Amino acid sequence: MAAAAPRILVLGGARSGKSRRAEQLVAEWLSRPPRRAVLLATAVAGDAGMAQRIARHQADRAQRLPQLACVEVGRDLPDALVRHSQPDALVVVDCLTLWLAQLMAPPQTAGALDVLDPAQCAAEIDRLSAALRAATGPVVLVSNEVGMGVTPLGELTREFMDTQGRMHQQLARQMTRVELVVAGRVLVLPPRAEEVLT
């Protein structure tokens, strides 16, 4: 029986090196042709600063990994993940944070997208979890770890932090490996406590 395709969740703070770590995983995967890789980009340019940030990421990636195809998916992440997954194609999602933000507080430039309530967000996360199970090839998910600082004062910000934390836990249960990137250094997180004790 063939081994299950790798599933890696890469977590880290802003400018921690998590996207660069995902690129390292892509380079390792592509080092054995005829493998392919595709990046599912979730960012939407809600303002000029974000547009510049996206353009910088695109230019840097194109220089470092010209063979990495890029597809902008916005909110359509679960369907895109299934659509692009193939046994010979690594799918990288960068990043889950921006995808969730679009569900909970879409930028005005995205048009008349509905703000999803907590139950609808949970349903979308369940759809993503199901898409991950249905994916036939390897997957790398990149996401910000936002829950390690002071609890925010704003209601929406607190709700976002809590929802993202629950999402990380739900998706981590499907991962073959979870990594935390801090200052460009990669820490491979151990299994859950209940997995260690059994």
Which amino acid, 8?
I
Cβ neighbours, 10 Å, residue 92: 26
Catalytic residue among 36, 57, 83, 127: 57
Of 102, 140, 139, 145, nearest to 15 by C-alpha is: 145
Question: Is 57 a catalytic site residue?
Answer: yes
Within the chain, residue ranges assigned H as helices are: 18-30, 48-64, 77-84, 96-104, 118-134, 155-172, 193-197
Residue 183 structure tokens: 């200052």
State phi, psi for 2 to the nearest 5 degrees: -70, 145
* Distance separating alpha carbons of residues 81 and 136, to the nearest angstrom: 10
Catalytic residues: 57
